[in-house]
Structure 1
Amino acid sequence: MALDTLINRAFAPAAASVESGAIPGAVLGIVTADGERAVRWAGHAQIEPERESVSRDTWFDLASLTKVIFTTTRILQLVEAGRIALDDPLVTVIPDLRQYDMNAAERRLTLRQCLAHQTHLPAVEPLYTYGQDPNTLRAFILQRVWQPGPPVYSDINFMLLGIAIERITGRALIDQPLPERFSFRPDPALCAATERDTWRGCVIRGEVHDENAFALGGASGHAGLFGTIDGVLDFAHGLLDGSGLSPASMAAIRTRESEKRTTGWEGFYPGWHGGDACSSDTIGHTGFTGTGLWLDFRRGLAWSLLTNRVHPSRHKDSGILGLRRATGEQVIALFDQREPL
């Protein structure tokens, strides 16, 4: 079965979601370790205030895919360059972290712990409600007395990692170099719209949907990256064929740091967002706006589903979890039926 035929069938769940109005638009891309790829799309990049069709070249707010495509990758590249080590405490590069309490728990956190979400930090905090001055908000993140709790998936972990990258490189996140087809400053006219935001008073298009990332200047370690499906597939292919990271870094993103987490990524477990047909050697991640990326290393296969499911509002049931799982099941079932080339 040719990959183009496979993707036409694997796209059926997304096409049905678009047709039913559960989501405005969707783009599905598949890539193999040998570089074969296929892309399929349907629906709208925007339905209000005016309807515009989605295309292969539509830029999506990747939301928390920022964590893996940008932040995790950049930290690992800095490790490869010898600038830092994964088990370095954050204070190695952010010495002013909780600077008024030398015994603060945050001062003992390591880069690895933040990447793997193995800290006491909370999942999220409405930082944008404290103001919109990026420097003041960064200071607030660093000096806040965070209440202790069990390890959870935490945006705060990656905000700290973003600040670490800025300190090491001497460059704001929004000005960091990025691969082709990725940007922190996309052309709004090329982007899928996200939410009709009551806080900003408009339909968001071409600026980050995440309120905290917006208040932090448009880019943060946890959100802010935009990209096209081909940009995401380029990134995935670099991981599948091992050209995107060193062997040690590849081992890190594939090795469990906890039951469900690797360094930066989520690892396969029954019931997860990528579908139960994935091999145990599969990693993935999702983004709140409706994006997702999965890599099954045993099969040499990756797929990405990009949607703008929060447009025009997050306050509805888009069925995104079921859609992601159904898409993953379809992609793998069809891939496994292929005759060897």
Structure 2
Amino acid sequence: MPPLEHPCERWGPVLPARSREPRGGELSTSKLRPGTPERAGLDPGELKRLVHEVQELTTGDRPWAPGAVVVAGRGPVITVAEAAGWAVRYSAHDPATDRGVELPPERRVPMTVGTPFDLASLTKLFTAVAAVQQIERGTLGIDARVGAYLPDFGAAARHGVTVRQLLTHTSGLRPDLPLYDCPDDASRSALLRAEAPVGPPGTYVYSDLNFLLLQHLLERLTGRGLDVLVRDGITRPLGMTATRFGPCPGAAATEDQRRPWAKADRGMLRGEVHDENARALGGVAGHAGLFSTGRDLAVFCRTLLAGGAYGPARILGTDFVELLLTPPGLGFAVDQPWFMGELAGRGAAGHTGFTGTSLVLDPATDTFLVLLANTVHPRRRPPDSGPRAAAATRLARAVRAA
């Protein structure tokens, strides 16, 4: 596999399909509620270790992240909802010392369970759900050619790229394009429309461009913006009131974005989308741009574990949730130990985001884990998903030890 633009977000090789066990939450659409580990059938000792290890990630002079939020549970029971560290710790990055410039304690902003985060590539999951909603309605064909909906995207049309290939990163499109360097919307659009696959369709290359094309397709098909499709089709019916495209002024800070380590010179970011291309596109993009909280993402996970319903709301039919999560997954990565740890292996699904966000839902055990962190504050570092995998392993062991 060729190197990827954001290696911390890669899926790894596409795994072969394997049979799935029935989801534990399929018969229940109960809303989430706090409860004890014992009530959820989880081992309290393992969950205590999970929380302690997440707290440790935010300590020291060079923490994995200045702050983090972890929310986890089983079935409709939230057994962990904890925050650690700082939503805002630094005023800038000092390239001379390669360290963050610490804010005085009175100006730092503590992390809370309700702190919103820039989700980065977790946005792709919402775009994928919006696409599968159209497939369920019969207005979009999963194996239809993109050119049937976007004939003006000539390169993709000529190469026969399909909707399924966009959703599974097998279109052959390269990982990224410098849309942020284009002078205006017209030139950005022209660059995207002319982009041809760098490999034959069917070639796996993790690519933001897949979800930018999918956004254009959905907007052309429905006559509505992606932000409206996500709001009306997902977040509003589920009561996810903290999930929206930015700006989001109270969010955890991300990066002191400056060249040469970034692709733009914007200074310390808080509440503005971190992804340079998403920012160039006005903050609403198929691959990045959403902000959300741990609790809202727990609702999203619970909905999918319950077969597409949450309380009285239904956003997808059970068969279409199955389509979404069956290997290799549509938008979702499936069974990837590099960030799912020991939860991987029987159909666990999830994703990571470049800013430090991740979620995993495991239909086999009816469990979910949301780990949100601002790992790019005050500047991006080489990716390290070891802590994500370790947290997921703690949850898997909590199931087995109960």
The TM-score normalised by the length of structure 1 is 0.89
The one-letter code of the counterpart of 1:234 is V
1:129-144 equivalence runs, <5 A: 129-131=181-183, 133-144=184-195
Question: Aligned residues: percent identity?
Answer: 33
Alignment partner, residue 124 of structure 1 = 176
Relative to 1, partners in 2 of residues 1:262 and 1:102: Cα closer, same or farther, differing over 3 Å? closer
**Alpha carbons 2:75, 2:366 under 8 Å: kept:** yes
**Structure 2: distance between partners of 1:112 and 1:122:** 16
Alignment partner, residue 17 of structure 2 = none
Relative to 1, partners in 2 of residues 1:230 and 1:87: Cα closer, same or farther, differing over 3 Å? same
Q: 1:120 Cα shift?
A: 1.2
**Alpha carbons 1:59, 1:227 under 8 Å: kept:** yes
1:302-341 equivalence runs, <5 A: 302-314=368-380, 316-317=381-382, 320-338=384-402
Q: 1:48 Cα shift?
A: 2.2
The one-letter code of the counterpart of 1:227 is S
3-state DSSP of counterpart to 1:288: coil
**Structure 2: distance between partners of 1:208 and 1:36:** 29
**Structure 2: distance between partners of 1:279 and 1:11:** 23
**Alpha carbons 2:174, 2:207 under 8 Å: kept:** yes
Residue 291 of structure 2 is aligned to residue 251 of structure 1: no
Alignment partner, residue 236 of structure 1 = 301
Alignment partner, residue 58 of structure 2 = 18
Alignment partner, residue 170 of structure 1 = 223
Residue 330 of structure 2 is aligned to residue 263 of structure 1: yes
The one-letter code of the counterpart of 1:122 is R
Unaligned runs of 5+ in 1: none
Alignment partner, residue 202 of structure 1 = 267
3-state DSSP of counterpart to 2:85: strand
Q: 1:126 Cα shift?
A: 2.3
**Structure 1: distance between partners of 2:185 and 2:53:** 40
Alignment partner, residue 220 of structure 1 = 285
**Structure 2: distance between partners of 1:226 and 1:184:** 6
Q: How big is the alpha-carbon RMSD for the aligned residues of Structure 1 and Structure 2?
A: 2.1
Deviations 1:56-113 (A, max 9, x none): 1111000100011x10000011111221121111122212111xx69721xx111111
Q: 1:129 Cα shift?
A: 1.8
Deviations 1:284-312 (A, max 9, x none): 11001001111111100011100010011
Match of 1:73 among 107, 129, 149: 129
Count of residues paired in the alignment: 324
**Structure 1: distance between partners of 2:195 and 2:162:** 17
**Alpha carbons 1:114, 1:157 under 8 Å: kept:** yes
Alignment partner, residue 104 of structure 1 = 158
Relative to 1, partners in 2 of residues 1:281 and 1:169: Cα closer, same or farther, differing over 3 Å? same
The one-letter code of the counterpart of 1:193 is A
Q: Which moved more, 1:55-64 or 1:32-41?
A: 32-41
Alignment partner, residue 276 of structure 2 = 211
Q: 1:177 Cα shift?
A: 4.5
Q: 1:186 Cα shift?
A: 4.2
The one-letter code of the counterpart of 2:69 is V
Unaligned runs of 5+ in 2: 1-36, 92-102, 259-263, 310-314
**Structure 2: distance between partners of 1:130 and 1:8:** 49
Q: 1:36 Cα shift?
A: 3.8
Runs of 4+ in 1 over 4 A off after TM superposition: 3-6
**Alpha carbons 1:59, 1:192 under 8 Å: kept:** yes
Alignment partner, residue 354 of structure 2 = 288
3-state DSSP of counterpart to 2:112: coil
The TM-score normalised by the length of structure 2 is 0.76
Relative to 1, partners in 2 of residues 1:268 and 1:26: Cα closer, same or farther, differing over 3 Å? same
Q: 1:17 Cα shift?
A: 1.2
**Alpha carbons 1:89, 1:111 under 8 Å: kept:** yes
Deviations 1:145-184 (A, max 9, x none): 4433642111111110011111122123344442122110
Q: Which moved more, 1:147-156 or 1:84-93?
A: 147-156
Relative to 1, partners in 2 of residues 1:84 and 1:324: Cα closer, same or farther, differing over 3 Å? same
Alignment partner, residue 156 of structure 1 = 209
**Structure 1: distance between partners of 2:228 and 2:167:** 22
Alignment partner, residue 248 of structure 2 = 187
Q: 1:8 Cα shift?
A: 3.4
Match of 2:84 among 26, 42, 51: 42
Q: 1:264 Cα shift?
A: 1.4
Q: 1:31 Cα shift?
A: 2.8
Q: 1:224 Cα shift?
A: 0.6
**Structure 1: distance between partners of 2:120 and 2:251:** 13
**Alpha carbons 1:59, 1:186 under 8 Å: kept:** no
**Structure 2: distance between partners of 1:134 and 1:103:** 21
